[in-house]
Amino acid sequence: MARNKVADVTESTVKQRLLRAALDLFTERGYAATSVREIVDAAGVTKPVLYYYFKNKEDIYLELFREPFVNFSKVLEDAYNEKGSVRERIVRLFDLIFELFVSRLKEARLMYSIYYGPPQGAPFFDFDSFHLKMREVIGLIVRKGIEKGELRAVDADIATWLLNGSLNFVMEEQLCHRSPMIDRSGLLRILDLVFEGLTDKKRKKR
Amino acid sequence: MARNKVADVTESTVKQRLLRAALDLFTERGYAATSVREIVDAAGVTKPVLYYYFKNKEDIYLELFREPFVNFSKVLEDAYNEKGSVRERIVRLFDLIFELFVSRLKEARLMYSIYYGPPQGAPFFDFDSFHLKMREVIGLIVRKGIEKGELRAVDADIATWLLNGSLNFVMEEQLCHRSPMIDRSGLLRILDLVFEGLTDKKRKKR
């Protein structure tokens, strides 16, 4: 079926509206407690419209994470291929991941709630893959940094935990139920400390 | 009513059994979906026994977090008053907090699920207070370290984020649905990197 631009725009709007409605309901009431009927009502469409875009409730749920994961993987791949010092590459990458996270706070909240909460019958999405992929790519960049002498000869795995933990903590702060106490600029300052350390190395040698 | 030691032991066992049963049900089915009837059945006691120890379901739920929070506050207070270098004090404190966390993984999982999930009608417990209290005490210790010249003249607030984020990431890893990839000894190695940094400071000066 041939589609013109206007039709495509409308389609994507309806699909987005369904995703948005499902996301709101899943986060507010929980996945199990939300019905397809409630999703279509909230989106202001009919059931056949939902079934045109999605197979079922499971499919909408999975779609909520598929796209962020694709974007996330893309950002990581680009970062891996970027030029610049290892430190610059890590800072730029963390900045992008943070931005991506902030643009998807509701999805992140749902992810946490499903990951830590009762299973609720939601289909399996491999949330760990965010963490594992991050670990892999940052690990490679850190190893490169050590190889090139840009980083000290530290344990690359431990350094990766430290870096990713710094990012993770600042991201989670954005999910809290009050105003976050740290933002993007705070993250960049934390990273400076990660690279430079809390102690003065010269002092230790005396 | 006078109680002898045997009675006290029995009492504490029954109370613990009720708490344990409630914790299991809240984490597996959710707070809202769990009834007082199910809790007493799972604990193998009658309703009047439950109401001897607890006012209602809300009260059991809150009790699950009250005791860990008291222990946590105690550990923090002791740490603040300890002797030793600032670095030693922070490492010892993080080690204790980590141990406490690992001994309460199920409570931690429930806390995450309630904090990030749909409210489920659970009464308010100020989970943020763990984070805020940690922030306060570590902040004070870091400031002391800077004052005494044990730490560089860094931004104490940013250094606190870095330290607490490192601990947080390793704690959360213990909640994952596979074998954790890092443990206590990894945490201590991360802390070494936090103090010493990923880069060689001498190199930068050239």
Per-residue HEC secondary structure of A9-53 comes to HHHHHHHHHHHHHHHHHHHHHCCCCCCHHHHHHHHCCCHHHHHHH
The mean pLDDT of A67-76, rounded to a whole number, is 94
Domain ranges of chain A: 1-54, 58-196
Contact A197 B198 (CB under 8 A): yes
Out of A120, A165, A201, the one facing B165 most closely (by C-beta) is A165
- Per residue in A3-35, pLDDT (tens digit) is 555 556 676 799 999 999 999 999 999 999 999
Query: Has domain B63-197 been given CATH number 1.10.357.10?
Result: yes
Out of B109, B154, B155, the one facing A116 most closely (by C-beta) is B109
Q: What is the pLDDT of residue A202?
A: 57
H or E stretch covering B178: none
Here the ipTM equals 0.91
- Tell the CATH topology of A58-196: Tetracycline Repressor; domain 2 (1.10.357)
Q: What is the pLDDT of residue B5?
A: 55
- Per residue in A80-93, pLDDT (tens digit) is 888 899 999 999 99
Contact B172 A168 (CB under 8 A): yes
- Per residue in A93-137, pLDDT (tens digit) is 999 999 999 999 999 999 999 999 887 889 999 999 999 999 999
Q: What is the pLDDT of residue B202?
A: 56
Q: Is residue A205 over pLDDT 60? A: no
The mean pLDDT of A66-91, rounded to a whole number, is 92
- Per residue in A164-200, pLDDT (tens digit) is 999 999 999 999 999 999 999 999 999 999 999 999 8
Pairs from A45-50 (Cβ < 8 Å, separation ≥ 24): A45/A14, A45/A17, A45/A18, A49/A14, A49/A18, A50/A18
Binning pLDDT at 50, 70 and 90, where does residue B37 land? very high
Do B1-54 and B63-197 fold alike per CATH? no
% chain B with pLDDT above 90: 84
Binning pLDDT at 50, 70 and 90, where does residue B82 land? confident
Out of A118, A150, A186, the one facing B27 most closely (by C-beta) is A118
Contact A193 B158 (CB under 8 A): yes
Architecture of domain B1-54: Orthogonal Bundle (1.10)
Q: What is the pLDDT of residue A1?
A: 46
- Per residue in B54-64, pLDDT (tens digit) is 999 999 999 99
Substitution target in A116, A131, A160, A195 with the highest count of B β-carbons within 10 Å is A116
Q: What is the pLDDT of residue A154?
A: 96
Distances (CA, A) of B188 to A27, B72, B173: 36, 19, 15
Q: Does residue A163 or residue A206 have the better pLDDT?
A: A163
Rounded to two decimals, the pTM is 0.91
Residues of chain A positioned with their CB less than 8 A from the CB of B199: 87, 150-152, 195-197
